[in-house]
Amino acid sequence: MKKFMIRFICAVIAVCATVLACSHKFGDFPFKRAEHDYHFDESGYLKTDNFIFKKNDDQSISYYGTNSLYGAYLAGRVAHLRQDFDQASEYYKIVLAKDPDNESVNRSTYVIYALLGDIDKAAPYAQKEIDDGKKQTLAPLIIAINDFANGEYAKSRQEVKELKDNVFKNIVTPLINAWAYAGEKNEAEAVKSVDSVVKDPALTTLKMFHKGLIYDYLGNKKKADECFADIVKNHATDVTFRFLEIITDFYVRSGDKAMARQISHHYNDNSMLAVLLAEIDKKIEAGQTDQKAIIDSPQKGLAEALFNVGTIYRIANGNTESAQVYIAASSFLNPEYEIAKIALANILEERGLLKEANRYYEQVNQNSGSYFIARIKIIENLNSMKDYKRAEQNIKSLLREYPNNTQLLSNLGNIAASMNNHKEAIRIYQRALKTIKPNDVNNWPIFYSAAVSYDHLGDKKRTEENLLEALRLSDRHPNVLNYLGYTWLINDKNINEAVSMIIEAFRQYPYEGHVVDSLGWVFYRLGEYDKAVEFLERASDMNPANAVINDHLGDAYWFAGRKNEAVFQWQHALVLKEDSETLHKPLIRAKIADGSVENKVLKITDPKVKQDLDDLKNIDAEW
């Protein structure tokens, strides 16, 4: 069964075809992505005629100034465009307190809450829209889920009854109705509702699974066994890890651990799932007949259904926004559902909502098999938000539980390097390297990171040693090729090999700004300034905020006779932050003052490298 997960995905894609055939657009969910951004000054402030906004360290926006309606709306809009949903919802609430009939803000408010899984907070605003006669798709769904969470099953069914969208009629509404009837102990209607889900071979396992769950919840163990046994026997390739977890749990509670083991071992040849399957095996052995079922309430049952729908939409045409609503609602209905939390956090990460993603990663239970991964993701997100202190605190806390974990030590070293504490970074990298096995190819990034820190400290010998080891272990990774080649180039060392490495990196990563910059610098060092300008301009387009690239472009402009543009680029380089710590700022100021720029022109002696460079001179302008 090595391919069973891949086959499941194929089955889901088949469902997606059905879904997309039903609706080109998923209901009328009003999702809008930011098309532009507001620009803050270097101190983090945006000032208008009447209002002041401050960008905080965690990238949220605070509003200062007049307490006017327009001010609160503008503050909310700025936060919304920056996808700082927590801040946006707070400001929109202020607007609605002063202007309760503002339909646009009311709708934005409940959409934001729904995206974050705060269905109970979204409900009053969704109800306001319904009361005003604007009964569209998302608002009734929010009310239905909130009613369901409160045990008002009949009301929940009534809310979705009027939704005519094919996707709801064929998939979503029958599943909501099924679990609502289960909540009322009406087995016949519950099963009938599951059976009314659109007939599609790819949905057969999903339907059988939810019938089994409903039978189990209502105490009909015989029928539940029939459903689960049918899945294992006839649809084994459609079984996900979650299905496996729930089905084996059923047999443990039924007193049949042998069956549970047999089902689990049916999939134990899949090495990718070895860790997760080991977790299931542990649960089987520790399980008792009187233990609580994983799905022991209608709310948890509907959470499974909504998660299933969300998973389909996540794969279907990249419909991330609709997937986010369903998976967020799943987490709301079942706060113990860690798979949903992690899936939602993943979606939030994909959308750049790192603070919100961490909110869900932090909810993963310490006893969960996903706990370590979730903590690592929190740390990575804090790093991305440049919240290095909190990232460091999280790593040190985790290191108390996993004291010699290579990944944690590597991440801790990276944080020290990010704060320009390269001596401390090297100390930590050395500690990390003591934990690794010789020739472990997965650990080349540690050697690479150590090389970068040695480079910042001016230790050329150790920089080169670590880069060469990283190059060997990584099978000539483009980033390592580029860094080592550029290092040799600026030190006038191994010129032919350095240029060859940079060309090799470029052929693998032609759209990476740092690699393109290195190739542009090759042409600059060879005195071919027009060609250098061509590549360095492209590098600057790719990384416009990089100080070193702008400095390089200024030098190329100067020798190409474009001196005013050169001065502009040098001035620009002085105010940019990315890679600014590697700039020789007094030298740049001297260049601006009197054009004090020199270039010791190099020569290539290797015929093959010469030919490779000639080929690159004729490269298509659009690459």
250/325 Cα distance (integer angstroms):
29
Predicted confidence (pLDDT) at residue 112 exceeds the cutoff of 60? yes
Predicted confidence (pLDDT) at residue 19 exceeds the cutoff of 60? no
Say if CB 331 and CB 340 are below 8 A apart. Answer: yes
Alpha helices in 254-337 (DSSP H): 257-265, 274-286, 298-315, 320-333
pLDDT, position 57:
56
Look at 292 and 65; give whichever has higher pLDDT: 292
The two structure tokens encoding residue 314? 């996540």
pLDDT, position 17:
36
pLDDT, position 142:
94
Give the alpha-carbon dihedral of 603, 608, 611, 615, to 10 degrees: -120
pLDDT above 70 coverage of the chain, percent: 85
Q: At what angle do helices 338-350 and 371-384 cross, to 10 degrees?
A: 20
Predicted confidence (pLDDT) at residue 4 exceeds the cutoff of 80? no
pLDDT, position 20:
37
pLDDT, position 23:
39
- Write out pLDDT tens, residues 50-92: 445 555 555 555 544 445 677 777 777 777 766 677 777 777 8
Distance of CA 207 to the CA centre of its chain: 30
Q: At what angle do helices 388-399 and 406-418 cross, to 10 degrees?
A: 160
pTM confidence score: 0.67
Give the alpha-carbon dihedral of 347, 349, 354, 360, to 10 degrees: 40
- Write out pLDDT tens, residues 592-605: 998 888 899 999 99
Q: Which of 290-304, 343-357, 470-484, 557-571 has the lowest mean pLDDT?
A: 343-357
pLDDT, position 370:
79
Domains of the chain (ranges; CATH) run: 1-23+204-317 (no CATH), 26-164 (1.25.40.10), 318-444 (1.25.40.10), 476-617 (1.25.40.10)
Mean pLDDT of the chain: 84
E strand segments, 441-545: none
Say if CB 112 and CB 88 are below 8 A apart. Answer: yes
- Write out pLDDT tens, residues 189-214: 999 999 999 888 888 999 999 999 99
Predicted confidence (pLDDT) at residue 452 exceeds the cutoff of 80? yes
71/391 Cα distance (integer angstroms):
34
579/535 Cα distance (integer angstroms):
19
Look at 282 and 125; give whichever has higher pLDDT: 125
pLDDT, position 274:
56
How distant, in Å, are the alpha carbons of 13, 247, 275, 319 from that of 6? 11, 20, 18, 20
Predicted confidence (pLDDT) at residue 14 exceeds the cutoff of 50? no
- Write out pLDDT tens, residues 226-247: 999 999 888 888 888 888 889 9
Q: Which of 130-134, 434-438, 459-463 has the lowest mean pLDDT?
A: 130-134
pLDDT, position 9:
37
Please tell me whether residue 390 adopts helix, strand or coil conformation.
helix
Predicted confidence (pLDDT) at residue 369 exceeds the cutoff of 80? no
Average pLDDT over residues 95-121: 87
Say if CB 356 and CB 378 are below 8 A apart. Answer: no
Identify which of 406, 337, 327, 323 has the alpha carbon closest to the alpha carbon of residue 372: 406
- Write out pLDDT tens, residues 379-424: 989 988 889 999 999 999 989 988 888 989 999 999 999 889 999 9
155/195 Cα distance (integer angstroms):
21
How distant, in Å, are the alpha carbons of 176, 410, 434, 467, 504 from that of 485? 60, 24, 28, 10, 10
pLDDT, position 475:
93
Q: Which of 94-108, 257-271, 309-323, 389-403 has the lowest mean pLDDT?
A: 257-271
Residues 6+ apart with CB under 8 A from 324: 115, 310, 344, 347, 348, 351
pLDDT above 90 coverage of the chain, percent: 52
442/544 Cα distance (integer angstroms):
32
Please tell me whether residue 62 adopts helix, strand or coil conformation.
strand
- Quick one: pLDDT band at residue 13, thresholds 50, 70, 90? very low
pLDDT, position 54:
55
Predicted confidence (pLDDT) at residue 486 exceeds the cutoff of 50? yes
Say if CB 302 and CB 395 are below 8 A apart. Answer: no
pLDDT, position 135:
64
51-55 vs 61-65, strand pairing mode: antiparallel
Predicted confidence (pLDDT) at residue 574 exceeds the cutoff of 80? yes
- Quick one: pLDDT band at residue 157, thresholds 50, 70, 90? very high
- Quick one: pLDDT band at residue 373, thresholds 50, 70, 90? confident
pLDDT, position 179:
97
Look at 180 and 79; give whichever has higher pLDDT: 180
pLDDT, position 62:
53
Predicted confidence (pLDDT) at residue 34 exceeds the cutoff of 50? no
Using CB atoms within 10 A of its CB, is residue 274 exposed (0-12), middle (13-18) or buried (19+)?
A: exposed
pLDDT, position 83:
65
67/94 Cα distance (integer angstroms):
9
The two structure tokens encoding residue 203? 């949905």
- Residue 369's CB is within 10 A of a number of other CB atoms, namely 16
pLDDT, position 275:
54
Dihedral angle sign, alpha carbons of residues 446, 447, 453, 457: positive
Question: For the residues of 541-567, what is the DSSP string, one character each?
Answer: HH-TTBHHHHHHHHHHHHHTT-HHHHH
Average pLDDT over residues 125-135: 86
The two structure tokens encoding residue 495? 């010129």
- Write out pLDDT tens, residues 308-339: 999 888 876 567 788 889 999 999 999 989 88
Say if CB 489 and CB 523 are below 8 A apart. Answer: no
- Residue 10's CB is within 10 A of a number of other CB atoms, namely 13
Say if CB 328 and CB 117 are below 8 A apart. Answer: yes
Average pLDDT over residues 121-141: 87
- Quick one: pLDDT band at residue 18, thresholds 50, 70, 90? very low
